[in-house]
Amino acid sequence: MDARPYDALLLVSFGGPEKPEDVVPFLENVTRGRGIPKERLVEVGEHYFGFGGKSPINGINRELLAALRADFAEQGLDLPVYWGNRNWDPYLADAFEQMVADGVERVACFMTSAYSSYSSCRQYREDLFEVSNDLPIRVDRLRHHFNHPVFVELFTEYARDALAQVGPDAHVVFVTHSVPDQMNEASGGPGCGLYEHQHLSVARLVSEALGVTQWSLAYCSRSGPPSQPWLEPDINDHLEELAGQDVTGVVLVPIGFVADHMEVVYDLDTEAKATAEKLGLRFARAASPNADPRYAAMIRDLLLERAAAERGESPERPAVGEFGPKADTCAADCCLNPRSQRPVIA
Ligand X SMILES: CC1=C(CCC(=O)O)c2cc3nc(cc4[nH]c(cc5[nH]c(cc1n2)c(C)c5CCC(=O)O)c(CCC(=O)O)c4C)C(CCC(=O)O)=C3C
Q: Which residues bind ligand X (CB under 6 A)?
A: 14, 16, 27, 30-31, 34, 36, 40, 44, 55, 57, 112-113, 117, 119-120, 177, 179, 183, 221, 223, 261-263
Closer by beta carbon to ligand X, 113 or else 156: 113
Q: Is 55 annotated as contributing to ligand binding?
A: yes
Nearest approach, Cβ of 280 to ligand X (angstroms)? Answer: 29
The residue with its CB nearest to ligand X is 223
Q: How far is the CB of 29 from ligand X (least distance, A)?
A: 9
* Smallest distance, ligand X to C-beta of residue 23, A: 9
Q: Would you say 177 is a known binding-site residue?
A: yes
Residue 263 known to bind ligand: yes
Q: Which residues of 14-51 are buried (b: 16+ CB within 10 A; e: fewer)?
A: bbbbbeeebbeebbebbbeeeebeeeebeebbebbeee
Distances (CA, A) of 269 to 192, 243, 252, 254, 289: 32, 18, 9, 11, 16
Q: Which residues contact 239 (CB under 8 A, 6 or more apart)?
A: 173, 250, 272, 275, 276, 279, 281
Q: Cα(first)–Cα(last) distance of the chain, in Å?
A: 25
List, as one string, the DSSP characters of 176-232.
EE--BHHHHHHTTSTT--HHHHHHHHHHHHHHHHHT--SEEEEEE---S-TTS-B-S
By beta-carbon proximity to ligand X, the closer residue of 72 and 295 is: 295
Distance CA 245, CA 304 (A): 48
Question: In angstroms, what is the minimal distance from the CB of 106 to ligand X?
Answer: 24
* Alpha-carbon span 193 to 297, nearest angstrom: 30
| Alpha carbon distance 228, 309 (integer Å) | 42
CB of 249 to ligand X, least distance (A): 27
Nearer to ligand X, 120 or 290 (CB): 120
Least separation in angstroms between CB 168 and ligand X = 30
Among 232, 212, 211, smallest CA distance to 221 is for: 232
How many whole angstroms separate alpha carbon 140 and alpha carbon 125?
10
**Shortest distance (Å) from residue 247 CB to ligand X:** 27
AA letter at 336: L
Q: How far is the CB of 154 from ligand X (least distance, A)?
A: 16
Task: Between 72 and 110, name the residue whose CB sits nearer to ligand X.
Answer: 110
CB 172 within 8 A of CB 210: yes
Question: Is 199 known as a binding-site position?
Answer: no
Considering beta carbons, is residue 201 or 304 the nearer one to ligand X? 201
- Could you give the CA distance from residue 344 to residue 121 in angstroms, rounded to a whole number? 10
Smaller CB distance to ligand X: residue 37 or 325? 37
Residue type, 148: H
Query: What is the rounded distance in angstroms from the CA atom of residue 255 to the CA atom of residue 176?
Result: 6
Q: Are 179 and 195 in contact (CB under 8 A)?
A: yes
Residue nearer to ligand X on the CB measure, 117 or 147 = 117
Q: Coil, strand or helix: which one is 166?
A: helix
Give 17 or 249: the residue with its C-beta nearer to ligand X. Answer: 17
Which positions make up the binding site?
55, 124, 177, 263
Which positions make up the binding site for Fe(2+)?
177, 263
Which positions make up the binding site for Fe-coproporphyrin III?
55, 124
